[in-house]
Amino acid sequence: MKNFICITLLMIVPYCLNAKVWIPKIFSSGMIMQRKAKVELWGKAIPNALVTIETSWGKDKYVKTDGLGNWRLKLKTSDSRESQQLKIHDSESEVNIKDILFGEVWLCGGQSNMAWKVIQPIGNHKVECECANDMIATSIEHQIRFFTVGKGASKTPLYDVNGEWKNATPQTTSECSAVAYSFAERLNTDLDVPIGIIVSAVSGSKIEAWLSKENNEKIGMLEALRDSPKLNKRPYELYNAMLYPLQGYSIKGMIYYQGESNRDNPKRYETTFPILIEQCRNNWGKKLPFYFVQIAPYDYKAGDGFRIREVQRKVNHRTPNTGIAITLDLGEENTIHPKNKRPVGNRLALLALDNSYSLGEVKGESPKVIKAIFKEDRVVVLLNEEVVLKGSSEFQLGDSNGNFYNAKVTQLNPRKIVLRSSKIIKPSIVRYSFKNWCKAEVFNMSGLPLSSFELEK
């Protein structure tokens, strides 16, 4: 009840002083609205008054505000390629939104590898991701617009975010998330429709910071993390400020790149990650496509990044309408922020094109392990598709006492890898690239890598 009062006060105070028509910043000139959909629109106006919504693409709509001045309605969009306009007004004031495009809108969340810009400012210098100059130079060829949510935290859910819609041009593209931009770039190329990306990501953030207070209470994390001095570690505060205000804005799906900051407790991540997906689906639709990046190999000095990769592999296997972009071949041993961001965004886009847009000619999925068959002196790993090996140094077999030994590939069929080790008679565990820093050695015929894995007898 206390939280509800705080939220209500935050919503009311500015409008009691100046009761003008108001809408959240996510609704502004230059925005992209999800095409061919019933999109939600909401805001504030004079309490108990009639608000008129005039659109350039359809009939006028009318809605009455409640006693606090709140209003909300749905508008039907089309697949028109023309620039559109929207006017919202009551008897005393109005808001005009210009240059609206209908297209495909995606929400992009996570921590630093999602937040990392095409040209990332670091202190007094800037770091370019690979292909940055090409992304910037060719941005004029694409219809991409992006909204970067301003960093913020709150103990109570907020009603608005900071940010503005920007058209991706040679003057602005450097400011956009490199992964999100690369994702949009590929979608625009293949779909030939405008792409809108909303980026809500904070460097170093734990997943608990993106879960609601109620979801943190479910997993008992309020007390454990509440007093952290860093806002990106405290539970639910990023959610309140950077995700909660966006719920209801119509999107096609979500892409996500996070997990590095939870490597201290992979077991808990196995609980929290599915909760995050469920939370997003509660806020944006039960069938929301959710595509995420498996964190890249890196020589962590502390924590088990490889176990986070395994959690992500399992969550993808168990959770419908998700996809995982494997980056086992894109990591860098000495930096947690690999510069080669374009393939990451491209792989996320392949998942979306394959699964959400049903482009049959696109291969989006990496190869997957079906199961491991343990025999007396060998292990047979079965795969869902034909693979090729570009090395065999990353396989290990383990015994029941937890001893592991390097394994040799003694047979490779299109969908089967047979492994043996002279140092182990009865293997009970098989691993592939199961360490923080490793190399990708198994790829499908499309060049997409197999995930690291650990399977027990």
Q: How far apart are CA 106 and CA 255, in angstroms?
A: 7
How many residues in total does the chain contain?
457
Residue with tokens 């997943």: 207
Range in 13-17, 107-111, 116-120 with the lowest mean pLDDT: 13-17
Would you report the helix, strand and coil content of the chain in percent, each value rounded to 5? 25, 30, 45
Whether pLDDT at 350 is above 50: yes
By CB atoms closer than 10 A (0-12, 13-18, 19+), residue 130 is: middle
Phi, psi of 67 (to 5 degrees): -65, -15
pLDDT at 230: 72
- Cβ proximity of 288 and 280 under 8 Å: yes
**What is the rounded average pLDDT for all residues in the chain?**
93
Using 50, 70 and 90 to split pLDDT, how confident is the model at 112? very high
In the chain, where does the domain assigned CATH 3.40.50.1110 lie?
102-355
Which range (157-166, 311-320, 421-430) has the least confidence?
421-430
Q: How confident is the model at residue 232 (pLDDT cuts 50, 70, 90)?
A: confident
pLDDT of 286 above 80: yes
Q: What span, in angstroms and rounded, lies between the C-alpha atoms of 22 and 7?
A: 16
CA-nearest of 377, 397, 391 to 440 is 391
Q: Is the confidence at residue 362, as pLDDT, over 90?
A: no
What pLDDT is attached to residue 8?
A: 41
Q: Tokens representing 288? A: 């929301």
Q: What interhelical angle do 305-318 and 266-284 show, nearest 10?
A: 40
Mean predicted confidence (pLDDT) in 198-215: 96
Q: How confident is residue 233, by pLDDT bands cut at 50, 70 and 90?
A: confident
- Does domain 102-355 fall under CATH 3.40.50.720? My reply is no
Looking at residue 367, the DSSP 8-state letter turns out to be: P
Distance CA 331, CA 328 (A): 6
Give the span between the Cα atoms of 145 and 101, in whole angstroms. 9
pLDDT at position 454 is 98
The class of domain 369-456 in CATH terms is mainly beta
Burial grade of 117 (CB within 10 A; 0-12, 13-18, 19 or more): buried
CATH 2.60.40.10 domain locations along the chain: 2-97
pLDDT for position 32: 98
Q: What is the pLDDT of residue 128?
A: 97
Mention the CATH class of domain 2-97.
Answer: mainly beta
pLDDT at 6 over 50: no
**Could you tell me the pTM of the whole model?**
0.94
